[in-house]
Chain A
Amino acid sequence: MPVQSYIQAITAGLREEMLRDENVFVLGEDVGKKGGVFGATKGLYDEFGEYRMLDTPLAESAIAGVGIGAAMYGKRPVAEMQFADFIMPAVNQIISEAAKIRYRSNNDWNVPMTIRAPYGGGVHGALYHSQSVEAVFANQPGLKIVMPSTPYDAKGLLKASIRDNDPVLFFEHKRAYRLLKAEVPEDDYVLPIGKADTKREGSDVTVITYGLAVHFTLQAAEKLEEEGISTHVLDLRTVYPLDQKAIIKAAQKTGKVLLITEDNKEGSIIGEVSAIIAENCLFDLDAPVQRLAGPEVPAMPFSPTLEKYFMLNPDKVETAIRDLAEF
């Protein structure tokens, strides 16, 4: 099996789906000739041509809107938002149209569209290039939000998202693009949307998280293992709708739960995870459910010191797990 970086796995997934189904096409800013600002669509323009790799104007509302129209017509668009931070002009299209059209038209119409967007900080991107925006969309039935944490998951879930008959928001952590490398099968595999994945078995503390934080957690867990602290890690993978069964099972496993997100704490995805645990696991809990998250600050700061303060890292995760283990 070849070792691929996270972004290479994305490109491979896209390419395989474009080869498999000619209705799949990509649209976005600089996705064509340039191959994307991060290089996620590198080489695809040469392979599939300008009619399947559409360079669009700087108008996210149009990217989403054109995608919705094409999807309703029978195409399978993969729209790219250059940064998740730029998705805001398209929110009305996504929430009011894409998410609701199946319900509104009584199943006559649907939107099999995938919207890819790099999110997350820790790359000196400052305000417009570092945000986590998943919570904005996480109470819109009709939408699915996928946030893979490994190259393997990224490819399998991107392929599943493209094949899904309803809109999927696919958020990729931009720091993971070149940081994470792993073996990725070359064959055609898909992973189920809506299913969380146990990334590590453990018995002292359960960490439930998603995205790049999974990587930090696994690093911390490795280190804590030497101290005799055993960490159970559940990767949500799909953050909306949540895999309640897996969350309950993982929480019950140890009774000490740490929830981690890079997003601002209040109103984040993990608040909902906490509510699911509170509703179902009271008599299994051995400690208050803890959250490790970003501070209540409007955006990721540019100053390196402040960015470091805002951003998660393995040390912060390690401290939080140890604190809970010792409780």
Chain B
Amino acid sequence: MATERINMPQLGESVTEGTINTWLVSAGDKVNKYDPIAEVMTDKVNAEVPSSFTGVINELVAQEGDTIQVGDLICYIDTEDGTSANASAGGDNSEQQQNDAEKEDDSKNTSMKKRYSPAVLKMAQENDIDLQQVEGTGRGGRITRKDMEQIIASGSGPKEGETKVGTSTPKTEEPAPSRAPVQESSPKPAAAAGDIEIPVTGVRKAIAQNMVRSTQEIPHAWMTVEVDVTDLVAYRNQVKDTFKEKEGFSLTFFAFFVKAVAQALKEFPQLNSTWAEDKIIQRKDINLSIAVAKDQELFVPVIKNADEKSIKGIAKSIHELAAKARSGTLTADDMQGGTFTVNNTGSFGSVQSMGVINHPQAAILQVESIVKRPVIMNDMFAARDMVNLCLSLDHRVLDGLIVGQFLARVKEILETINKDTTSVY
């Protein structure tokens, strides 16, 4: 025995409900399949509702005069048929449980964590929120727009600036996260009357951020060598006028230094590398960043594959990049991919400086002013053209020994440059 439902049948096109006019049976009556059990009135037709089963009427749910939606229950009938509707219901339950289990698995899945929708990216950008630190409630751990709205409303979003410190430090190190708050709590200096306040924007802001990042992350160490470039100076002065006439741009001292560095880097690839937390990446390409100042801004465009270029080629690259920097036409491509920086501090008259490494490179070389000085050679005084090369190194990547060898090699190359050994072409 099983109890079945009899529902209000569809009694014509566009008919959605019917009113029970008269019940033709009552509880306890035995009916055959297709026997009429009730008279139903719709706004289109009056009709008899047939029984869908053979059995005994169990309960009349709808009363005479009730208006019932098509498909809704009107009465129960006990059938002699053994198959029970409840059996299948049990099956549904287990399926439901399985679905629940699947759902639980889904909550641990974070495959969508880094798939950001345009809305989420926009909100992160506008509110300076670091998405890496946001917990997503969407499918697969996805961060939803609602998650972002909540963070913004609560004002507790992990800020982009803070995390630059945090992300580069291994998570196990305790002091790293505390550094950012300390920084934030120091009071801002106030401007007095007559002071000029210059808003920090654009390039200035980027420089500031990079410098902070570089000095906070990289343990700097310094080393300076003195190089005798008398022959180089003589050679360059001898050819510079004809060079300018022929090529249309100047043959600077700086080009010689860049060439020497590129050549030495080929022999000491340890300096052409990057700190990457659990490893050091040695770069194959030698792409030299050079610093170019323009008014209040500092650009570091890149001479790509400097080791493959002649001195003339390097001079030309420097000339072009400097011109672009001054006219503000440097492209992102011009600025990318640097592996080591050579900085021409000598152009400002400096004779010694301590450069800040251009993150994430491993070292920076400052080429200072060439100064004519009395030097003792073969126990005699001589007037020589001297220059200091000051190198800042990332002590995580490099030690004194290798850097000393590198600088000695640069020195050697530079001191042997003269018209017999070297061609600018």
Q: Give the interface of A toward B (CB within 8 A).
A: 38, 123-125, 129, 174-175, 177-179, 203-204, 254-256, 282-287, 326-327
Contacts and interface: CB of A to CB of B under 8 A. Distances in A.
Contact of A129 (B13, B117, B146): B13
B373 to A, nearest CB: 62
Interface residues of B, number: 19
Given A326-B139, A327-B138, A286 B119 contact: yes
A178 B15 contact: yes
Contacts of A179: 14, 16-17
B122 A327 contact: no
A286 B17 contact: no
Contacts of B139: 326-327
Contacts of A178: 14-17, 43
Given A255-B119, A326-B138, A124 B144 contact: no
Contact of B13 (A174, A254, A285): A174
B16 A283 contact: no
Given A178-B43, A327-B138, A327-B142, A284 B14 contact: no
**Taking chain A's interface residues, is the majority helix, strand, or loop, or is none over half, making it mixed?**
loop
Contacts of A283: 118-119, 121-122
Contacts of A254: 145
Interface in B129-149: 138-139, 142, 144-146
Interface in B351-403: none
B137 to A, nearest CB: 9
B14 A285 contact: no
Contacts of A124: 10, 13
B144 A123 contact: no
A111 to B, nearest CB: 30
Q: Which of B17, B118, B120 has the most CB of A within 10 A?
A: B118
A124 B16 CA distance: 12
A175 B146 CA distance: 37
Interface in B111-169: 117-122, 138-139, 142, 144-146
Nearest to B126: A283
Interface string B1-20: 00000000010011111000
6 contacts: A124-B13, A175-B16, A178-B16, A178-B17, A283-B121, A326-B138
A283 B17 CA distance: 46
A287 B142 CA distance: 11
Contact of A286 (B10, B14, B15, B117): B117
A143 B122 CA distance: 39
Nearest to A323: B139
A285 B16 contact: no
Nearest to A304: B10
B266 to A, nearest CB: 47
Given A286-B145, A327-B139, 7 more contacts: A124-B13, A175-B16, A178-B15, A179-B16, A283-B121, A287-B117, A326-B138
A289 B139 CA distance: 16
Which of A38, A125, A179, A286 counts the most chain B CB atoms within 10 A?
Answer: A286
A123 B14 contact: yes
A282 B14 contact: no
Nearest to A173: B14
